[in-house]
Structures are given as C-alpha cells and as structure tokens.
Amino acid sequence: MKRIFKFLLKTILCFALLSVVWVLVYKFVQVPYTPLMAIRYFEAENSYETKHQWKSIDEISEEIQLAVICSEDQNFIYHNGFDVKAIKKAYKDNQTGRQIRGGSTISQQTAKNVFLWPQRSWFRKGLETWFTFLIESFWSKERILEVYLNSIEMGNGIFGIEEAARYWFNRSAKNLNREEAVSIAAILPNPRKYKAISVSVYINIRKTWIKEQMRNYGTFTLNVKTK
C-alpha cells in the first residue's frame, strides 16, 4: 500500500508539474493543434481538412470579441474563471427539466478546447477545473480570449474566428462588422449544426438578443484585470 501511495503521489506531482509547464508555454506560443482537432479528424469518414489560422488579438475585430463575450460569458473580465451565479442557474434549469445548460465560462471552455476533450464526465470536469485555475493564474484575460477565439470549433473542420470569418463572409476576422460578428456568435451553441447565414427563427432570436446585450454592455475593454 505504501508503494502504491508513493506511486500515485509521484504521478500526481508529475502531472501537476507538466501541466503548469504546458500552460506556461502556451502563454507565449501559438496553439497549433488541439485534442478536439485530432478527435474530429479521426471521427471523419470521408476526406477531412482541418482549417485553422492563428491571429493575434489585435488582428481580430473588437465587434466579434464583444459579441462572443455577450453571447457566452458576460462576466468574463470580472470572474476568476468560474461564474458561480451562472453555474447555479444552469444547475437549477437542468434540475427542473429545462433545456440543458453548461454554465461554463470562456476560461473553462478555453481549458477544455486547448487541453482536454469534449465528452462530459466528472474526471474531465475535474481536469477542466484544474486547467481553468492555471490559465487564470498565469495568463491575462486578453490571452485567454485570444486563445479561445483561435481554438474554438466553428463548423465542420473550421477552427478559430479567422477561418470562420473567411468561410461565412469571405473576409478576415479583423474586418468583421457588427452584423457579421453577431451572426458568428449566434451559432456558438452548436456551430456544426447552425449556419451564420441562416434565416432560422432560432438564430434570428439569438442575434437579436446578442445585439441587445452588446448595446447594454457598455465600453468594451480587456484591461480590467491584468497580470
């Protein structure tokens, strides 16, 4: 038992050390590939191409930055990675049988997208919590949003805002206007199912809601919390 305990302790310590190094490397280095990209590649039955082009936060329109924040996590610049109120609301909605909600922040989604896999389990959720704590500790909010916007899945084989902008509107992420930004943000609940140029009732309702949230948000800045 003593040997097993020592082995487990060493394993945990090694994982903790390696994960810290991994997060520190991605603080400065572009994220070239993610576990989800690999999963989608092996899931594909026919020819499949991963489209991913990294852009710095300065090369991404502030309209899409704000649209995504208003759509996914309006307390992003204020929380420490976990939005307790959103988690409680998601739990309550799920318990009452309403539409399943995740309650995940942009930080949590970034941790999952970059370091983990999409399937839900308590083990993965525990790892997600750990990596969320690490990126909130070592990265700035600007870096978290930059990595999120560059790694998020935006369609079949499409990853990152740059490729999404080119696919849907034939322009770079830097030149997205508000209407286009809102259209892209509106499909984030399921970007493999919905279309940014869709005229569906659901997407139009989402777009109207996001526009209203953007108007109410106020002056957009990522300088509230720095490291």
Instruction: Find the distance separating the first CA and the last CA of the chain, reported in whole Å.
Output: 43
Beta strands in 53-152 (DSSP E): none
Is residue 151 within 8 A of residue 114, CB to CB? The reply is yes
Q: Given this model, what pLDDT does residue 91 score?
A: 60
Nearest residue to 152 via CA among 97, 113, 204 = 113
Estimate the crossing angle of helix 106-115 against helix 141-151, to 10 degrees: 50
Instruction: Give tens-digit pLDDT for 44-93.
Output: 877 889 999 999 999 999 999 999 999 999 999 999 998 877 666 666 66
pLDDT of residue 165: 97
225 pLDDT more than 70: no
Q: What is the pLDDT of residues 89-111, one digit of tens each?
A: 666 665 566 555 557 999 999 99
The structure's pTM equals 0.89
| Three-state DSSP class for residue 74 | coil
The model's pLDDT over 118-134, given as tens digits with 9 standing for 90+, comes to 888 899 999 999 999 99
CB distance 110 to 147 below 8 Å: yes
- 3-class SS shares of the chain: helix, strand, coil, % to 5: 60, 5, 35
**Does residue 9 or residue 66 have the better pLDDT?**
66
State percent of the chain over pLDDT 90: 74
d(CA 108, CA 121): 14
Beta-carbon neighbour count of residue 1 at 10 Å? 5
Q: Is 168 a residue whose pLDDT tops 90?
A: yes
Between the alpha carbon of residue 78 and those of residues 67, 133, 165, 194, 223, the distances in Å are 17, 15, 28, 30, 11
CA gap 16, 26 in Å, rounded: 16
What is the arithmetic mean of pLDDT over 164-171?
A: 96
What is the reported pLDDT for 141?
96
Whole-angstrom distance, CA of residue 208 vs CA of residue 192: 21
Q: Pairing state of beta strands 51-52 and 153-155?
A: unpaired
- Structural domains for the chain: 32-217 (1.10.3810.10)
- Note the Cα 16 to chain centre separation in Å: 22
Provide the β-strand partners of residue 159.
52, 153
**Least reliable range by pLDDT among 36-40, 89-93, 112-116, 171-175:** 89-93
Q: Please, how many CA atoms are within 13 Å of residue 171, restricted to the half-sphere of its CB?
A: 12
Cα separation, 81 vs 77, whole angstroms = 9
Instruction: Decide if 70 contacts 213 (C-beta within 8 A).
Output: yes
pLDDT confidence of residue 226: 40
CA 67 to chain centre: 13
